[in-house]
């Protein structure tokens, strides 16, 4: 599935027949048909994977709220945004509108949980007061370059992500608190993991 997902994200759905997919992932068409009866099933499986990923994130009870979790929330948002490409979403909207709506719904539900986390931080007086809708729009704009083929092959993904994470964290916290959060070992590991994931998805 990972190879097929990469193909869809890089190239969209246009021209991706079962024969083309089998050739691209290095298996026979017969073997691919053992797992999927049609391209429609392949597309649904890719969307299922994204929806499951988004649905699994951010289900922490409010009583377990911690500011230390902020990098995780921000990186998850970048990961979910970076795991889709304009080419894939555009083609999905034309050929499989119901599947595109599933992705949009999953992302919306995730962002509702993210917004609840941010609201809790503001209510506790820890985060700066912000307009959450504008902040989410800022993240989408910031993440725009993460889901374009070749972008992360041309730049080092890890420094790019660290820079984005610092910018976003400074919207919510002061300089000292931002530095403390971003130097956590757990944050460094998460940045490294996401950099590897996005580079694998989009590197030419």
pLDDT at 9: 79
The sign of the CA dihedral 25, 30, 31, 33 is positive
65-79: buried (b, 16+ CB within 10 Å) or exposed (e) per residue?
Answer: beeebbbbbbbbbbb
Structure tokens at 49: 């994977």
Burial class (CB in 10 A: 0-12, 13-18, 19+), 2: exposed
Domain ranges for the chain: 2-202
CA–CA separation, 130 and 117 (whole Å): 13
CA distances from 147 to 2, 19, 57, 71, 140 (A): 16, 26, 20, 20, 11
The model carries a pTM of 0.86
pLDDT tens for the chain, 204 residues long, are 778 888 887 788 888 899 988 888 889 989 999 999 999 999 999 999 999 989 988 766 666 899 999 999 999 998 888 888 888 899 999 999 999 999 999 999 999 999 999 999 999 999 999 999 999 999 988 777 665 555 555 457 788 889 899 999 999 999 999 999 999 999 999 998 888 887 777 655
Alpha-carbon span 184 to 179, nearest angstrom: 9
Q: In this structure, is the dihedral angle defined by the CA atoms of residues 110, 93, 197 and 149, taken in order, positive or negative?
A: negative
CATH, domain 2-202, list 3.40.605.10, 1.10.357.10, 3.40.50.20, 1.10.3080.10 = 1.10.357.10
């Amino acid at each position: 599935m990972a190879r097929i997902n990469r193909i869809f994200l890089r190239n969209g759905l246009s021209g991706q027949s079962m024969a083309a997919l089998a050739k691209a992932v290095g298996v026979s068409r017969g073997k691919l048909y053992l797992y999927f009866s049609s391209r429609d099933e392949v597309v649904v499986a890719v969307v299922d994977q994204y929806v499951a990923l988004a649905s699994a994130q951010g289900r922490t009870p409010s009583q377990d709220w911690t500011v230390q979790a902020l990098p995780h929330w921000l990186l998850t948002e970048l990961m979910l945004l970076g795991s889709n490409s304009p080419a894939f979403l555009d083609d999905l909207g034309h050929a499989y509108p119901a599947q595109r709506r599933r992705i949009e719904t999953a992302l919306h539900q995730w962002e509702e949980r993210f917004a609840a986390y941010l609201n809790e931080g503001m209510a506790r007086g820890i985060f700066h007061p912000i307009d959450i809708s504008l902040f989410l729009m800022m993240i989408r704009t910031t993440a725009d370059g993460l889901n374009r083929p070749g972008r992360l092959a041309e730049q080092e993904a890890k420094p790019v992500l660290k820079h984005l994470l610092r910018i976003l964290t400074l919207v919510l916290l002061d300089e000292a608190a931002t530095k403390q959060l971003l130097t956590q070992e757990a944050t460094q590991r998460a940045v490294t993991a996401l950099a590897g994931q996005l580079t694998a998805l989009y590197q030419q």
